[in-house]
Amino acid sequence: MGAAFREKIDREVITLTGKETQTTVDGGLEMVSEYKQKIQMPLQMDFRSRLQLYQALFNSKSDELNEDWKSTDMVWENVLTTKLFGLVSANLIFELRYDKEQVAELQWKEMLGLGLSYTLF
């Protein structure tokens, strides 16, 4: 847990005179927590979970913005990794994200990755 500063750069802000770049700086408190576990079932798997919380305390454009910047931002990522049949590796990633400034609803993302791996030595 500690203090954090963020800078958001938006290059696609449309105004009456065209597109322009806007920069917003905020600062606050951030907490990052990680958990790792090896699972020995029929297959050897690694599980990793990472939770990141950020609470802004000030914003450089607080006079121009609504109160959405005051809400707590959250990113929770879970990754399950295993090797299948010696050469094939698989990753399952599930992520939850909440940032009221971007989207006022909870967002989620799932990814399944398959790859080939070979160890030379």
Whether 79 maps to a domain, the answer reads yes
Whether 11 maps to a domain, the answer reads no
- Distance, CA of 44 to CA of 55 (rounded, Å): 37
Report whether 102 contacts 75 (CB < 8 A): no
Say how many domains are in the chain: 1
- Distance, CA of 97 to CA of 100 (rounded, Å): 10
Whether 45 maps to a domain, the answer reads yes
Residue predicted with more confidence, 47 or 11? 47
The residues facing 45 across adjacent strands are 39, 82
pTM: 0.79
80 contact partners, CB below 8 Å, separation of at least 6: 45, 46, 47, 91, 92, 93
* 31: confidence class by pLDDT, cuts 50, 70, 90: very high
Domain residues for 98?
Answer: 28-116
Place of tokens 């909870």: 106
Whether 6 maps to a domain, the answer reads no
pLDDT tens figures, 2-26: 999 999 898 888 888 888 888 889 9
User: Two tokens at 30?
Assistant: 């951030």
- Distance, CA of 5 to CA of 101 (rounded, Å): 16
